[in-house]
Amino acid sequence: FAPYACGSGIPEIKTILSGFIIRGYLGKWTLLIKTVTLVLAVSSGLSLGKEGPLVHVACCCGNILCHLFTKYRKNEAKRREVLSAAAAAGVSVAFGAPIGGVLFSLEEVSYYFPLKTLWSSFFAALVAAFTLRSINPFGNSRLVLFYVEFHSPWHLLELVPFVLLGIFGGLWGAFFIRSNIAWCRRRKTTKLGRYPVLEVLGVTVLTALPPGSPSMLKLRSLLDLSPFTVTDQTPMEIVVDIFRKLGLRQCLVTHNGKLLGIITKKDVLKHIAQMANQDPDSILFN
C-alpha cells in the first residue's frame, strides 16, 4: 500500500527540499500507513525511535494541506517552505523542543531557509508544542514523558565529566554511523534484504530474548501489596477523589490501626448519586 513508509524518511525529505520530486512520498497512503505502523512499532518495545518518522508524518500532513490552497499547490517553492515548517513541528512534538525543531530544520533538512521561512517554522513548532501540552497525553503537563528538575546550582568542576562524556559520545556516534553504513551495504548484497518480514521477526526475537539477559527482578519484597486504606476521619469527598484518580475498586477503612470496614466502588457511586440526586447506575468513572 505504501512502500515509501519504510525508514525514518529524513534523507528523502532532505532530497525533496533540495529540489527533487518524489511522487507519492508525502501522500495520504504514506501518512496513514506510517502512522499506524509507527504506533505498533513503538508499542512493541523494539529499539526503534519515533523522532525521525514523526518528521516524515508532519511533512506528509503539511504536503496534504498544501493541496487545499492553490497558492501552495501550484508553487513548489512555497510548498517547500511549508515542508520546512512541518519538519520543525515534527521535531518539536518528538522532543518537546520548539527551538530545537527550528534549528533542525535550518541545519539539517533545508537547503534554502530565508528569514520568512524561519519565522514560519518557529510559529509552526511553537503551535505544535502548545497543542501537545494542551492535549497532555502523558498526564504530567509536560511535553515529554520523562523530565528532571534541578533545584541546586551546578559547580564549575562538573564541566570536566560532561566534556569527557561529549567526547565519548562523539566517538561512539562516529563508530555507530560507520557500522550502520557497513551493515546497510552488506544487507543489500545478501538474501536478508529480500525478505523484510523475516528480518523484522528476527530483530523482534533478538530484542525480546537477548542471550544472557538477566532474570526477572524480584520486587515483591520491596512492594507493599496491601490494599489502599483511609482512616475513619477521612472526608467522603477526598475518598471519591482518591477513587477517581487512582482507579480503585475498593478501599479499607481503619481506626487506630484496626479495620473498621471497606468502601467499594458501588458505595462511592451511591454517595455521588445522593449528592447529585442521580441514579447510581448512570454514573461512570473515568
Q: Give the orientation angle of helix 10-17 with respect to helix 76-95, to 10 degrees.
A: 150
Bridge partners of residue 129, in order along the sequence? none
Provide the H-helix boundaries in 190-255.
196-208, 236-246
Nearest to 251 by CA among 232, 223, 224: 232
pLDDT value for 148 = 67
Say if residues 123 and 129 touch (Cβ distance below 8 Å).
no
What's residue 276's pLDDT? Answer: 72
Residue 215 has pLDDT above 70, yes or no: no
pLDDT in tens, 138-179: 776 777 766 667 777 878 888 999 999 999 999 999 999 999
Q: Cα separations (Å) of 170 from 95, 166, 230?
A: 20, 6, 53
Residue 107 has phi, psi (to 5 degrees) of: -95, -30
Least confident of 126-130, 198-202, 236-240: 198-202
Residue 7 pLDDT > 90 = no
- Contacts of residue 64, Cβ cutoff 8 Å, sequence gap at least 6: 26, 27, 28, 31
* Least-confidence region, from 169-183, 210-224, 242-256: 210-224
Rounded to a whole number of angstroms, the CA Rg of the chain reads: 26
Among the residue ranges 152-156, 157-161, 238-242, 274-278, the one predicted with the least confidence is 274-278
Fold of 229-276: CBS domain Like (3.90.1280)
Q: What is the reported pLDDT for 254?
A: 86
Q: pLDDT value at position 280?
A: 45
- In the chain, the percentage of residues whose pLDDT exceeds 90 is 20
Number of Cβ within 10 Å of residue 272's Cβ equals 17
Q: Over 60: is that where the pLDDT of 219 sits? A: no
What is the distance between the alpha carbons of residues 253 and 264, in angstroms, rounded to a whole number? 11
pLDDT band at 190 (very low <50, low <70, confident <90, very high): confident
Q: Which of the four pLDDT bands, split at 50, 70 and 90, describes residue 286? A: very low
Q: Measure the CA–CA gap between 183 and 172, rounded to whole angstroms.
A: 16
* DSSP structure class, residue 144: S
Mean pLDDT is lowest, of 48-62, 121-135, 204-218, for: 204-218
**pLDDT tens digits along 86-98:** 999 999 988 888 8
Specify whether the CB–CB gap between 104 and 114 falls below 8 A.
no
Contacts of 276 (CB under 8 A, 6+ apart): 283
pLDDT tens track for 202-214: 877 777 765 555 5
* Domain chopping of the chain, boundaries: 3-135, 156-202, 229-276
Look up residue 49 and give its three cell numbers.
Answer: 525511535
- 229/26 Cα distance (integer angstroms): 54
- Residues 62, 57: Cα–Cα separation, whole Å: 9
